[in-house]
Structure 1
Amino acid sequence: MSRLPGLFVVGTDTGVGKTVISAAIARVMTQEGRRVGVLKPAATGAVRVGDGWKSDDADRLIEAIGGGVALERVVPRIYKEPLAPSVAARRQGTPLLWDDLAQAVDESLVWWAERAEVMVVEGVGGFLTPMADRASIADLAIRLDYPLVIVARKGLGTLNHTLLTVEAALSRGLRIAAVVLNGSEPPQGTVAEATNAEELARLLEGTGPLVTVEYSVDQSLIPIAAVCMNWYDRASRPRGENVVG
């Protein structure tokens, strides 16, 4: 049994809107009639509710595919403090080892394989954010081997952050499905906001499509479907040996 095709949504930084874009992509494919699985291998900044957890990121992903999925199927590792997962886990007294995280991801993908036809996986923070002990989001990207959707902010500084992320991904042999320049905050009317999309399109020519998403007060209405992107066709299966089944 081959692993499902999928996309791995990563960011150039924290706060760029990865969850919003992940949920939007999942919602679009669900509305197209696809059976979509969603996964965020580790979430931080969660809240204890009784004996369980509440994660806004997980709730948004579950809502995007129509609900009815238990939190632990979407977020197998969850922590209270809004820190890099490896740091939050260590401070919580249970260090997150890479083998443990990899096994949790594999088990989640096996569970989804019987219920979905395509996966949308969301990372944490930026591309080199520590994910587990001595492992980063980049290591998880290599293991998953899904094409990346790189989410960047629209304002000042995004040229450097985006180009560094793209370079880091390509140097590891990863594929890039798209770069999303996301209006995660209300526009400030800066020159950077006005010129970044054109400049990135020029600098990233041949790397993958550049998608621009405008800011919306209601983030559940992000018009990702209006960019004429067939997200299912951008997804693909892993090429390497880490296929679950």
Structure 2
Amino acid sequence: MGTDTAVGKTHQACLLARALRAEGRGVAAYKPVASGSAPPGQSDAELLWAASGSAEPLHRTCPQSFHAPLAPPLAAALEQRQVDEELLASGAVWWQQRCEFLIVEGAGGALSPISESSTVLDLACRLQLPVVLIAANRLGVVNHTLLSLQAILARGLPVLGVVLNDLPPASQDVSPDSNAGLLRSFAPASIPLVHSIEELWQPSGLDAH
């Protein structure tokens, strides 16, 4: 789950999928819905599908996609379609019955709408998924991360860690050097803060879930 769009969710999910595969674990990746276009082979779904080494058709990795770079329900409406609410969850359940470790990547941030009536966080609660929160190490990340954690923890989901993803710095942004320290001061001390999801992959971390 992310704090926003374009924070590195797909990159971190792919890192985890490849790490799991390298250890011989049965892994699958799932993106319930996607919107926006990308060059061939570079969509989130295609990257996740490749990283997980899936032998299933691409639509099993992402069963619903829409062209416009908008929230999925808005992108669907432009095509005179609707997001299939039940498929969001049933597509994940299909994988849960067939793999050892399922990575689910949301669209946008925790409270981003993914259908006409539900958010990314709603779906995570429905599926009872533990959360790894991905945040971009840039100006504003402290506020975005703390608000996201507050929303997730209020719904009772376990947070396995926060990944402060290092992106190419914007000009004049000096915050990346101090964001981690500030987050550690305000976020719950029990939640690990790392710079790569691979740092959470150990018997005491993600492997327990």
Q: Does 1:102 align with 2:74?
A: no
Q: What CA distance in whole angstroms lies between the structure 1 residues aligned with 2:204 and 2:17?
A: 10
Structure 1 unaligned residues grouped into runs of 5+: 1-9, 214-223, 238-245
Q: Any conservation in 1 of the 2:29–2:48 contact (CA below 8 Å)?
A: yes
Q: Report the CA distance between 1:42 and its aligned residue.
A: 0.1
Q: What CA distance in whole angstroms lies between the structure 2 residues aligned with 1:235 and 1:87?
A: 37
Call closer, same or farther: CA 1:170–1:104 in 2, change over 3 Å. closer
Call closer, same or farther: CA 1:162–1:65 in 2, change over 3 Å. same
Q: Report the CA distance between 1:16 and its aligned residue.
A: 0.3
Ranges of 4+ aligned residues in structure 1 off by more than 3 Å = 46-49, 186-191
Match of 1:229 in 2: 201
Q: Does 1:192 align with 2:175?
A: yes
Q: What CA distance in whole angstroms lies between the structure 1 residues aligned with 2:87 and 2:182?
A: 40
Q: Report the CA distance between 1:79 and its aligned residue.
A: 0.6
Q: What CA distance in whole angstroms lies between the structure 1 residues aligned with 2:30 and 2:109?
A: 17
Moved more, 24-33 or 198-207: 198-207
Structure with the bigger percentage of strand: 1
Aligned residues: 209
Provide, for residues 119-168 of structure 1, a one-character-per-residue CA deviation record: whole Å limited to 9, x for no partner. 00000011111110121111111112111111111111001000000001
Q: Does 1:142 align with 2:125?
A: yes
Match of 1:4 in 2: none
Instruction: Choose from 63, 66, 77 the match for 2:53.
Output: 66
Q: Any conservation in 1 of the 2:63–2:91 contact (CA below 8 Å)?
A: no
Match of 1:219 in 2: none
Call closer, same or farther: CA 1:236–1:42 in 2, change over 3 Å. farther
Tell me the amino acid that sits aligned with residue 86 of structure 1: P
Q: Any conservation in 1 of the 2:161–2:200 contact (CA below 8 Å)?
A: no
Q: Report the CA distance between 1:236 and its aligned residue.
A: 6.1
Tell me the amino acid that sits aligned with residue 118 of structure 1: F
Q: Does 1:38 align with 2:29?
A: yes
Provide, for residues 71-102 of structure 1, a one-character-per-residue CA deviation record: whole Å limited to 9, x for no partner. 11000111111111111111110122xxx323
The within-5 A match list for 1:24-173 is 24-46=15-37, 56-96=43-83, 100-111=84-95, 113-114=97-98, 116-173=99-156
Q: What CA distance in whole angstroms lies between the structure 2 residues aligned with 1:140 and 1:121?
A: 10
Q: Report the CA distance between 1:187 and its aligned residue.
A: 6.5
Q: What CA distance in whole angstroms lies between the structure 1 residues aligned with 2:200 and 2:32?
A: 29
Tell me the amino acid that sits aligned with residue 128 of structure 1: L
Query: What is the root-mean-square deviation of aligned Cα atoms in Å?
Result: 2.4
Q: Give the SS at the match of 1:68.
A: coil
TM-score when scaled to structure 1?
0.77
Q: What CA distance in whole angstroms lies between the structure 1 residues aligned with 2:11 and 2:43?
A: 11
Structure 2 unaligned residues grouped into runs of 5+: none
Q: Give the SS at the match of 1:38.
A: strand
Match of 2:4 in 1: 13
Moved more, 100-109 or 82-91: 100-109
Q: Report the CA distance between 1:205 and its aligned residue.
A: 3.6
Q: Any conservation in 2 of the 1:147–1:234 contact (CA below 8 Å)?
A: no
Q: What CA distance in whole angstroms lies between the structure 1 residues aligned with 2:67 and 2:204?
A: 33
Match of 1:242 in 2: none
Q: Give the SS at the match of 1:149.
A: strand
Q: Any conservation in 2 of the 1:11–1:152 contact (CA below 8 Å)?
A: yes
